[in-house]
Amino acid sequence: MDHLDGNVLAGPITGFFDFEPTTAQGQCQSCADIAALGQAMVYGQPMGFVARCGNCDNVLIVIVERAGQKSLNMRGLRWLRVADPVEQNRI
């Protein structure tokens, strides 16, 4: 099955957080690899997206969209690091 790159997560994740999701970094719970979400392998589903670790294929994030609701499961990430938009505007 072909996969999309992690940039397709931009729209779904923006609805949850006020940061640039493609540049946020996360650590894989399975292999401890640290990478930008934009580097994840993303598989589209009829109801959402599944983002997998580009190093070990672990499921990092699941986004389900249905009936006007969205749910986000990030249990495959050990942590997610985002840039502080206030600090970025000072540069």
Residues forming the site for Zn ion (CB under 5 A): 28, 30-31, 33, 53, 55-56, 58
Q: Cβ closer to Zn ion: 53 or 74?
A: 53
Please, which residue, 10 or 31, has the CB nearer to Zn ion? 31
Smallest gap from Cβ 26 to Zn ion, in A, equals: 10
Q: How far is the CB of 89 from Zn ion (least distance, A)?
A: 32
DSSP one-letter string for 14-75: HTT-SS-TTT-EEEETTT--EEEGGGSEEEEETTEEEEE-TTT--EEEEEEEETTEEEEE-T
